[in-house]
Amino acid sequence: MKPSIPRGTRDFGPAEMHKRQYIFDIVKRNFQLFGFSPIETPAMENLDTLTGKYGDEGDKLIFKILDSGEYIEEIRDKNLNLLKKALARSFYKRSNNNSNSPFKFRNSFSTVESRFSSKELTRNISEKALRYDLTVPFARYVVMNQHSLTFPFKRYQIQPVWRADRPQKGRYREFYQCDADIIGSNSLINELELIALMDKTFSDLKIPVLIKLNNRKLLTGIAQYINATDKAMDIAIAIDKMDKIGQIGVENELFSKGFSHEQINKLLEVILIKSDGVRQINNPAKKIENEEVLNFLKTVSDYRSNHILQKGIEELEFLFKNIKTQGLKHVKIELDISLARGLNYYTGTIFEAKANEGTFTPSILGGGRYDDLTGIFGLKNMSGVGISFGIDRIYDVMTELRLFPEKINSISSTQVLFATFGQKEQLHCLKLAKRFREKGINVEIYSNESKIGKQFEYANKKQIPFVCTVGSDEMSLKKYPLKNLETSTQSENPLTISQIIREIKKYHSAK
Amino acid sequence: MKPSIPRGTRDFGPAEMHKRQYIFDIVKRNFQLFGFSPIETPAMENLDTLTGKYGDEGDKLIFKILDSGEYIEEIRDKNLNLLKKALARSFYKRSNNNSNSPFKFRNSFSTVESRFSSKELTRNISEKALRYDLTVPFARYVVMNQHSLTFPFKRYQIQPVWRADRPQKGRYREFYQCDADIIGSNSLINELELIALMDKTFSDLKIPVLIKLNNRKLLTGIAQYINATDKAMDIAIAIDKMDKIGQIGVENELFSKGFSHEQINKLLEVILIKSDGVRQINNPAKKIENEEVLNFLKTVSDYRSNHILQKGIEELEFLFKNIKTQGLKHVKIELDISLARGLNYYTGTIFEAKANEGTFTPSILGGGRYDDLTGIFGLKNMSGVGISFGIDRIYDVMTELRLFPEKINSISSTQVLFATFGQKEQLHCLKLAKRFREKGINVEIYSNESKIGKQFEYANKKQIPFVCTVGSDEMSLKKYPLKNLETSTQSENPLTISQIIREIKKYHSAK
């Protein structure tokens, strides 16, 4: 059997792990600096918890888990029972007709099939699913623990999520999200804190970033302006695909959803505005101020009565004003009123960040405010806002832009390898290794009885900086030659263990 | 909808997370000290990769994932097609019989059911499963990356695994394993290194531990001695349950597997021996030396021709001799020839560790040597040995024995909270917070506009040690009162930001 792994999943070897760990450490450190506390939720959630939260398209991408236990027999029996019932009904019908040719019999299957709903079937074989994001499990957690938590509750969560998306560059079926959310406060101070958090984290990672900002209230207000108040979500889903399917694609999708040409034109005129009332979506030549765009929105015909539009503009104006006052150290931030983000649950601010350089610029962060995500689980009036770093894509971008520091480009953290001439020496090294490890030095003893050359080759391949060779002379002298593989220099005289420890510590503190 | 999580899974709040992180950090630090490099594998593996590696009982506990994409319709269609074919066949049969009463028709379903094999059905709806342990995915990884890895390959891996076990105390459906393995070396030096690693790690965690040691070759040799060479695995599976089902239970299971009473008696006489040829399985009064047990085994009638038994004894003697020479700092180690460990793939040394104190003493570590785990994936001659720390149970044991240090019993790592009188002050605090964070201090700004009392209560509940109160006077003076909540003392005069930073740093370095 030739082994493989499922499509869209990946293994991470030591070299990748060290780089990933570098990103996780920076993100985690910043979450703590901003006062977020860690939680973790199970990989599996009840199917009910997840379905209906991500839109129809999201629901399709949820990985379901087969019921456990004697599941195979159970599934078969449950399925057969459902079919039996359906067929028994169709059988009676058929026998009344007195027509029982095989052809007719097969025909009756279509009746069965249509009755035998797919929903019913899935419910019978699957009650659990892999989490699709960290936000819905977080809302579920908050509701279940509402009496013991202190609000506003600030949590961070770093765990993998799973989506049955079509795999492609930058899109995986298993990937990590690193989320920070504040729930139980509708103050826009939280948005400002999150922007500061993004600024500091991307600055630490050295990734040049453009944050796009919008507000769902703006979209809702615009839906009202084009007389499609109940279709704000359709608008959000369609314009969210602008990058993928282009303006024509968006127009077609809206038309198929029942929007009139007039509504579509009115919508695009507003959504694509960058300044001067001219469509300039792909005109980077002219720098347009965020304020100009908001001012333009104030000119739409129903502005005075469009309270949700007013509210959205007001919130964005507050944010941009204070971002200017606070100052950003590293990232750029920009209003993009065509930014929608597909997720059902956003109601206010929405964020998206992309790298500002390089050829590969997928979204590396997303987030936003949700006013009633906990409501579906029975807890009303819990506004929350959060962001999610996509570290797998951050990794891809940092690789392209060569942003990983030199020192972590190593496949091993071992500091010294003991090379020996046989088992007697290996046993001796076990004792030496203990002393090194007590001093916090990472040590390996080469455990096969191979030629010295092969042992040095092992150290070279693993980028272990020092090799200490141990033979019977060294064992009796208790002094050992130490070779630095980076400089290819060997200690002039054999060294005592204390001297070797000093050498290694000196080398590493100099790094 | 009242939210819940699947049976056997858990949420971890901030307090639990900090304690779990403490364990992970110690385990990970020790893995590095011993020269292991990190890898990660996907949560999902192809079903083929996992099935058949854990015995029949293990296979049943694997969580299967439904095929993705348009899976619901696909499953329905695939199932219906299978049924259609089977029913078409049974229909023809029926119509030849000229009997088409509903009763007869329903009867034909049993024929269909038996033809409609459960294996066929599962294959049609599930191709992926959640990993059951980290060892099989590791073997798969090694085979897939054999040309780029440097052998002996030492890897550690810290990830959750999933088992559809019946939930009970200390047994979860999702739990973390922390594995260290060396593959590509059959030297017993590796076993000695792993014992040293356990000794150091459990010493750092301060858990009193008894490690039980055995060797599968001993079991195979004993199987040969009782003339059941081909049933060594049955013996291993049965005696592995000694703790759960007792001696009588084991006897019954062996009998049902076709062992004769004579074989069972001969087996138990040897397995339960602790010394003097007397069954003493539950007699802790008399201390029996490991060497005595091995010497007794040398007296079995076919010893001179039982090479596998000889080899097992020789390996164990080597380990015990060198453990004695090396010395153990913290753990106790003991031969237990009734230790089997259920997993199919072990062929040599086997380890198991339990806490040596307290009322709750589940297995907190297991491991062993496997000579041909990669063989099934097409790579022969790759002996490996590894151990797996069960950190969820380590957590439970440490909780019972109160082994977590005082300082990590906190639900927040925030060092100072800014309490304010309103939005203007909050905006001012955003700027102050930036300076604190640049100095590495974890800061929160209370983001709701609540009474000061409520803000102090928040800090108290979250065990944040300092609160800095900011009103309009403080803003213009740029001096702020700082209160230490632990001592309930307030700075005599308002302090500058630099003074506050100094205070907080002083407090934390004193901790």
User: pLDDT digit string (tens) for A365-394?
Assistant: 999 999 989 998 999 999 999 999 999 999
Å from B114 to nearest chain A CA? 10
- What is the identity of the amino acid at A436? F
A42–B10: do the CB atoms touch at under 8 Å?
yes
- In the predicted model, what is the mean pLDDT of residues A245-268? 91
Angle (nearest 5°) at CA A411 between A407 and A413: 70
Is the distance from CB of A396 to CB of A20 less than 8 angstroms? no
- Sign of dihedral through CA atoms A99, A100, A102, A107? positive
Q: Tell me if chain B has a CB within 8 Å of the CB of A418.
A: no
- Is the predicted pLDDT of residue B275 greater than 60, yes or no? no
Which tokens belong to B268? Answer: 């138990």
* B63 DSSP 8-state letter: P
Q: Which position has the higher pLDDT, B396 or A293?
A: B396
Å from A355 to nearest chain B CA? 23
- In the predicted model, what is the mean pLDDT of residues A343-356? 90
- Is the predicted pLDDT of residue A101 greater than 80, yes or no? no
Q: Tell me if chain A has a CB within 8 Å of the CB of B485.
A: no
CA distance B339 to B331: 18
CB contacts of A49 in chain B (<8 Å) are 3, 5
* Helix (H) or strand (E) run with residue A440 in it: none
The pLDDT of residue B410 = 74
Given A35, A49, A70, which is nearest B444 (Cβ)?
A35
Å from B415 to nearest chain A CA? 8
Given A5, A325, A444, which is nearest B42 (Cβ)?
A5
User: For testing the chain A interface, which of B65, B174, B420, B446 should be mutated: the one with the most A CBs within 10 Å?
Assistant: B65
- Does residue A265 sit in helix, strand or coil? helix
- Is the predicted pLDDT of residue A95 greater than 60, yes or no? no
- In the predicted model, what is the mean pLDDT of residues B366-376? 93
Which of the four pLDDT bands, split at 50, 70 and 90, describes residue B106?
Answer: very low
* A138, burial (CB in 10 Å: exposed 0-12, middle 13-18, buried 19+): buried
* Helix (H) or strand (E) run with residue A368 in it: strand A363-370
Instruction: Please tell me the least confidently modeled range out of A206-210, B45-49, B266-270, B438-442.
Output: B266-270
Å from B284 to nearest chain A CA? 32
Instruction: Please tell me the least confidently modeled range out of A333-347, B134-148, B388-402.
Output: A333-347
- Does residue B438 sit in helix, strand or coil? helix
Q: Which residue of B has its CA nearest to A103?
A: B88
- In the predicted model, what is the mean pLDDT of residues A241-264? 90
A118–B76: do the CB atoms touch at under 8 Å?
yes
The pLDDT of residue A108 = 46
B92–A70: do the CB atoms touch at under 8 Å?
no
Q: Tell me if chain B has a CB within 8 Å of the CB of A477.
A: no
Rounded (10°) CA dihedral A109, A112, A118, A119 = 180
Given B66, B126, B430, which is nearest A326 (Cβ)?
B430
CA distance B255 to B264: 8
Tell me the pLDDT of chain A averaged across its residues. Answer: 86
Q: Tell me if chain A has a CB within 8 Å of the CB of B9.
A: yes
Q: Tell me if chain A has a CB within 8 Å of the CB of B61.
A: yes
Is the distance from CB of B369 to CB of B328 less than 8 angstroms? no
Q: Tell me if chain B has a CB within 8 Å of the CB of A107.
A: no
Considering chain A, what percentage of its residues have pLDDT values greater than 90?
65
Closest CA to A178 of A33, A293, A42, A26: A26
CB contacts of B64 in chain A (<8 Å) are 65-66, 71
Neighbours of A495 (CB within 10 A): 17
Q: Which among A46-50, A71-75, B53-57, B292-296 has the top mean pLDDT?
A: A46-50
Mind listing the pLDDT tens digit for each residue in A189-200? 999 999 999 999
CA distance A19 to A25: 10
Which tokens belong to B211? Answer: 């490690």
The pLDDT of residue B167 = 82
Q: Which residues of A, range 434-463, sit inside 8 Å of B by Cβ?
A: 434, 437, 440-449, 458, 461-462
Mind listing the pLDDT tens digit for each residue in A424-446? 999 999 999 999 999 999 999 99
Given B33, B91, B442, which is nearest A442 (Cβ)?
B33
The pLDDT of residue A285 = 53
- What is the identity of the amino acid at A126? S
Å from B221 to nearest chain A CA? 26
Which of the four pLDDT bands, split at 50, 70 and 90, describes residue B76?
Answer: low
Q: Is the peptide bond before A137 cis (omega within 30 degrees of 0)?
A: no
Which of the four pLDDT bands, split at 50, 70 and 90, describes residue A86?
Answer: low
CA distance B383 to B315: 15
- Is the predicted pLDDT of residue A248 greater than 50, yes or no? yes
The pLDDT of residue A75 = 53
Given A37, A72, A322, which is nearest B412 (Cβ)?
A37
CA distance B499 to B501: 5
- In the predicted model, what is the mean pLDDT of residues A11-31? 96
- Is the predicted pLDDT of residue B54 greater than 60, yes or no? yes
Pairing of strands A37-38, A416-420: unpaired
CA distance B140 to B378: 10
The pLDDT of residue B131 = 97
CB contacts of A97 in chain B (<8 Å) are none
- What is the identity of the amino acid at B137? P
B445–A189: do the CB atoms touch at under 8 Å?
yes
Buried b (16+ CB within 10 A) or exposed e, A75-94: bbebbbebbbebbeebbeeb
Phi, psi at A105, each rounded to 5°: -60, -45
Mind listing the pLDDT tens digit for each residue in B318-347? 999 999 999 999 999 999 888 888 777 899
The pLDDT of residue A409 = 67
- Is the predicted pLDDT of residue A159 greater than 50, yes or no? yes
A377–B190: do the CB atoms touch at under 8 Å?
no
The pLDDT of residue B296 = 85
Instruction: Please tell me the least confidently modeled range out of A20-34, A448-462, B53-67.
Output: B53-67
Which tokens belong to B84? Answer: 């259609």
- Sign of dihedral through CA atoms B143, B148, B151, B156? negative
Å from A281 to nearest chain B CA? 34
Q: Tell me if chain B has a CB within 8 Å of the CB of A196.
A: yes
- Is the predicted pLDDT of residue B77 greater than 80, yes or no? no
Mind listing the pLDDT tens digit for each residue in B203-250? 999 999 999 999 999 989 999 999 998 888 888 888 888 878 888 999
CB contacts of A431 in chain B (<8 Å) are 326
The pLDDT of residue B279 = 41
Q: Which residue of A has its CA nearest to B31?
A: A442
The pLDDT of residue A79 = 59
- Is the predicted pLDDT of residue A273 greater than 80, yes or no? no
Q: Please name the residue that has the structure tokens 């980290």.
A: B134
- Is the predicted pLDDT of residue B126 greater than 60, yes or no? yes
- Is the predicted pLDDT of residue B290 greater than 80, yes or no? yes
Listing DSSP states for A90-114 in one string gives HHHHHHHHT---HHHHHHHHHHHHH
Q: Tell me if chain B has a CB within 8 Å of the CB of A190.
A: yes
The pLDDT of residue B237 = 83
B105–A91: do the CB atoms touch at under 8 Å?
yes
Contacts within 8 Å (CB) and 24+ apart, B488-497: B497/B432, B497/B435, B497/B436
Given A35, A113, A148, which is nearest B80 (Cβ)?
A113
Q: Which among A485-499, B112-126, B145-159 has the top mean pLDDT?
A: B145-159
Q: Which residue of B has its CA nearest to A151?
A: B458
The pLDDT of residue A78 = 59
- A:B CB pairs within 8 Å: 352
The pLDDT of residue A114 = 44
Complex ipTM: 0.87
- Does residue A450 sit in helix, strand or coil? coil
Which tokens belong to A77? Answer: 């029996």
The pLDDT of residue B407 = 80
Q: Which residues of A, range 350-379, sit inside 8 Å of B by Cβ?
A: 376-378
Q: Break chain B down into helix, strand, coil percent, rounded to 5.
A: 50, 20, 35
Question: Which residues have a Cβ under 8 Å from the Cβ of B126 and sit 6 or more positions away?
Answer: A66, B47, B64, B65, B66, B67
The pLDDT of residue A281 = 43
The pLDDT of residue B70 = 42
User: For testing the chain B interface, which of A111, A448, A457, A461 should be mutated: the one with the most B CBs within 10 Å?
Assistant: A448
Q: Which among A263-267, A467-471, B58-62, B357-361 has the top mean pLDDT?
A: A467-471
CB contacts of A106 in chain B (<8 Å) are 84, 88
Instruction: Please tell me the least confidently modeled range out of A97-106, A132-141, A228-237, A309-318.
Output: A97-106
A92–B73: do the CB atoms touch at under 8 Å?
no
CA distance A72 to A78: 10
User: For testing the chain A interface, which of B23, B41, B56, B79 should be mutated: the one with the most A CBs within 10 Å?
Assistant: B79
The pLDDT of residue A83 = 61
The pLDDT of residue B308 = 94
Å from A81 to nearest chain B CA? 10
Tell me the pLDDT of chain B averaged across its residues. Answer: 86
Which of the four pLDDT bands, split at 50, 70 and 90, describes residue A511?
Answer: confident
The pLDDT of residue B82 = 61
